[in-house]
Amino acid sequence: MAPTHDHPGEQAAQDPIRLLEIRDTPLSVDEIFRAVGDDAAGGTALFVGTVRNHDGGQDVGALGYSCHPSAQDEMRRVAEKVVAEFPVRALAAVHRVGDLEVGDLAVVVAVSCPHRAEAFEACRKLIDDLKHEVPIWKHQRFSDGTEEWVGAC
């Protein structure tokens, strides 16, 4: 491993992208947090997106996520962009697909960096870009019987 430019003697990570998946099984915050553990990281930021019980003034009964076959590749592209822009030591992101209920975890992302400010910024960019660029769609079913499809994530 090569030394980094910021801290002589610090070993560079082999691949800071530790975990990227789209799954149809329940997500684990602990799994994502463990995936970004790194002794050279002084800050770790984690975001958890959950299914809420309302949207746009309507009560949400349940929802489902589906994705395009290219979603995994797009998720990697987004992660690589974050790694290129920030001093990321470790990054992980997992999004759920399938039917979810209120309170279920829909997405968990985490980033570890040498300092907290860059960890917060990198995590924010990761979730925002995943939401806007990865082809994952939400199908909300409201308690009044109506439903709607929501663009990416």
- Quote the tokens at residue 4: 């980094």
User: How many Å apart are CA 57 and CA 110, to the nearest integer?
Assistant: 30
Q: Is the dihedral of CA 148, 149, 151, 153 positive or negative?
A: positive
Along the 153 residues of the chain, how does pLDDT read in single tens digits? 334 455 543 565 589 999 999 999 999 999 999 999 999 999 999 999 999 999 989 999 889 999 999 999 999 999 999 999 999 999 999 999 999 999 999 999 999 999 999 999 999 999 999 999 999 999 999 999 999 998 744
Whole-number pLDDT of residue 78: 98
Show the CA angle centred on residue 31, arms to residues 52 and 94, nearest 5°: 55
Whole-number pLDDT of residue 7: 56
